[in-house]
């Protein structure tokens, strides 16, 4: 239980709703910022007054899965207000206050470090990323069906990256009857792809390969789907970029070639916000309980 614990939830999407509900189940005192358009759905919560005294009580702050932008701004679909995370404000929180975010860019890391607080990027955790890959894969299948006029079964699919999401994508699309090639950068990665019964592609020499693929699924947050790859793709190919913004695809060149390329970060929050929210909520509440014990000791 989190009785007596003070937690602020700031911005985000429908996944945050499940986090708020879970915090209430665990008896935490919850403060909200960026949820003013929910029309009183959480009357038991307190609006976060950034200049109020309750800032000095906060044991944890939960940011959206996307964290902040490069200026420290926090996005939220339930408000039109601007939410800004500032170092001077964070310094008003207790020294043990923890900052939770799905991912953390350099701006967020800098803000939290200057404030002397602990930042916990949840998507860096293997358990969260692996659980999260389930709705990500389902959402990818949905997008693949919606944006093509051919079946996944029998199609040729290139998956770039064999991380936690890439491996789930490779396994699932293979089970759907697609012919899978996986782009990797290490000999160990090539061995793993071979062991899975799939075709490895060395991304260090990817320009040497033919690109006769119906789907390209990118999970690498770096510019890997470049013009040299796109120019070899058939005109009917679909590129789905699952990496965090700005993705790893040359979208300008894809449009020039007439190839449909879609950036779809945060798929779990779009296709299964309840499941995705519960995944994050369970991890956060477990970590908060551990932190609470340490503070009380």
CB 32 within 8 A of CB 42: yes
Asked whether the predicted pLDDT for residue 295 surpasses 70, the reply is no
Query: Tens of pLDDT along 237-253?
Result: 999 999 988 899 999 99
Residue 81: what pLDDT?
A: 87
Dihedral (Cα; 34, 267, 127, 249), 10-degree rounding: -110
- Distance (Å, rounded) from C-alpha 78 to C-alpha 219? 28
Q: How high does pLDDT run on average in the chain?
A: 94
Asked whether the predicted pLDDT for residue 293 surpasses 80, the reply is no
Among positive and negative, which fits the CA dihedral 237, 243, 246, 250?
negative
Instruction: Please state the pTM of the whole predicted model.
Output: 0.86
Q: Residue for token digits 């007596």?
A: 4
Residue 296: what pLDDT?
A: 67
Of 43-52, 182-191, 222-231, which gets the smallest average pLDDT?
43-52
Strand duo 46-47 + 260-263: pairing: unpaired
- Average pLDDT over every residue of 268-291: 91
CB contact set of 293 (below 8 Å; sequence gap of 6+): none
User: Band of the pLDDT at 291, cuts 50, 70, 90?
Assistant: confident
- Distance (Å, rounded) from C-alpha 160 to C-alpha 196? 15
Query: Tens of pLDDT along 60-104?
Result: 999 999 899 999 999 999 998 889 999 999 999 999 999 999 999
Residue 297: what pLDDT?
A: 61
- 3-state SS, residue 196: coil
Among positive and negative, which fits the CA dihedral 166, 168, 171, 173?
negative
């Amino acid at each position: 239980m989190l009785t007596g614990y003070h937690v602020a939830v700031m911005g985000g999407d429908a996944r945050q709703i499940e986090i708020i509900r879970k915090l209430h189940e665990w008896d935490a005192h919850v403060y909200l910022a960026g949820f003013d358009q929910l029309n009183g759905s959480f009357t038991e919560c307190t609006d976060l007054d950034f200049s109020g005294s309750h800032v000095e009580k906060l044991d944890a702050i939960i940011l959206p899965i996307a964290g902040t932008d490069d200026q420290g701004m926090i996005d939220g679909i339930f408000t039109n207000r601007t939410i800004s995370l500032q170092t001077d404000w964070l310094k008003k929180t207790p020294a043990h206050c923890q900052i939770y975010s799905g991912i953390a860019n350099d701006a967020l890391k800098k803000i939290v470090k200057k404030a002397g607080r602990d930042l916990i990027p949840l998507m860096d955790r293997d358990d969260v990323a692996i659980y999260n890959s389930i709705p990500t894969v389902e959402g990818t299948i949905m997008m693949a069906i919606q944006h093509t006029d051919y079946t996944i079964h029998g199609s040729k699919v290139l998956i770039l990256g064999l991380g936690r999401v890439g491996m789930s994508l490779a396994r699932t699309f293979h089970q759907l009857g697609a012919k899978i090639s996986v782009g990797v950068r290490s000999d160990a990665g090539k061995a793993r792809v071979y062991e899975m019964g799939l075709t490895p592609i060395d991304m260090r020499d990817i320009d040497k390969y033919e690109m006769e693929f119906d789907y390209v699924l990118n999970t690498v947050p770096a510019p890997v789907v470049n013009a040299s790859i796109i120019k070899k793709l058939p005109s009917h190919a679909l590129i789905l970029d699952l990496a965090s913004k700005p993705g790893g695809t040359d979208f300008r060149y894809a449009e020039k070639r007439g190839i449909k390329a879609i950036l779809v970060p945060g798929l779990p929050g779009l296709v299964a916000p309840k499941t995705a929210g519960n995944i994050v909520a369970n991890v956060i509440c477990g970590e908060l309980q551990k932190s609470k014990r340490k503070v009380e000791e």
